[in-house]
């Protein structure tokens, strides 16, 4: 009873952007398609990019051909394994790894996205779901670690160990 939890918030730059010219410019600069499923995080096992790639492969098998997964973030431990998985699953046409994107471009990247998928296996807090929601973007996040407490009913929570559940949620 002596402790009050004060959650993090997001910078005011993360908001719904209605300037179509700026959004179009970002889309062209990064060569992004109309339908973007966004992943933000270091390419490392803790962030579960491989589980998301497997979910995208499942969606392609189901016939969803017009989706594109855009991955933003630095390479981390075992990143090359993730990049090889994209090739192994023949997803080069629908998975784009952008790497680092400047902070000032991120609100625009969120705004042109249809969805953020945040399938982390472990997360201390994780700001991307809150940033996405501030930009008006729906969120699918893992139902483990801090995500259920932070997101509660604001996001669709899924089992990050089940690529089929992630695919169904997308």
| DSSP line for 77-111 | TTHHHHHHHHHHTT-TTTEEEEE---GGGHHHHHH
The burial of 16, by beta-carbon neighbours within 10 Å (0-12 exposed, 13-18 middle, 19 or more buried), is given as exposed
CA distance 10 to 131: 6
Q: Where are the beta strands (DSSP E) in 11-75?
A: 36-40, 68-72
Q: What is the reported pLDDT for 145?
A: 87
CA distance 102 to 146: 26
CA distance 149 to 166: 19
What one-character DSSP code corresponds to residue 148? H
Token pair belonging to 26: 């970002």
Q: What is the reported pLDDT for 98?
A: 97
Beta bridge mates, 162: none
- For residues 9 and 19, the model is more confident at 19
Q: What is the reported pLDDT for 7?
A: 81
**Spatial strand order in the sheet of 36-40:** 95-99, 68-72, 36-40, 115-118, 139-142, 156-158
Q: What is the reported pLDDT for 63?
A: 92
Share of the chain above pLDDT 70, in %: 100
Task: Tell me the C-alpha to C-alpha distance, in Å, between residue 41 and each of 14, 49, 73.
Answer: 17, 9, 5
The burial of 12, by beta-carbon neighbours within 10 Å (0-12 exposed, 13-18 middle, 19 or more buried), is given as exposed
Q: What is the reported pLDDT for 126?
A: 86
Q: What is the reported pLDDT for 55?
A: 97
In this predicted structure, the answer to whether residue 91 has a pLDDT above a threshold of 90 is: yes
The pLDDT confidence band at residue 125, using thresholds 50, 70 and 90, is confident
Q: What is the reported pLDDT for 166?
A: 98
Q: What is the reported pLDDT for 159?
A: 98
Q: What is the reported pLDDT for 65?
A: 84
């Amino acid at each position: 009873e002596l402790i009050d939890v004060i959650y993090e918030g997001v910078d005011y730059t993360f908001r719904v952007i209605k300037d179509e010219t700026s959004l179009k410019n970002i889309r062209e600069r990064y060569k992004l398609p109309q339908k973007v499923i966004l992943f933000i995080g270091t390419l490392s096992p803790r962030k579960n990019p491989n589980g998301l790639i497997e979910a995208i492969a499942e969606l392609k098998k189901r016939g969803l051909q017009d989706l594109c997964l855009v991955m933003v973030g630095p390479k981390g431990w075992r990143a090359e394994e993730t990049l090889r998985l994209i090739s192994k699953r023949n997803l080069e046409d629908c998975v784009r790894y952008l790497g680092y994107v400047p902070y000032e471009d991120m609100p625009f990247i969120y705004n042109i996205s249809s969805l953020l998928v945040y399938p982390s296996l472990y997360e201390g807090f994780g700001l991307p779901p809150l940033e996405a929601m501030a930009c008006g973007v729906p969120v699918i996040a893992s139902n483990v670690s801090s995500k259920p407490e932070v997101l509660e009913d604001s996001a669709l929570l899924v089992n990050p160990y089940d690529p089929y559940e992630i695919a169904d949620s997308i």
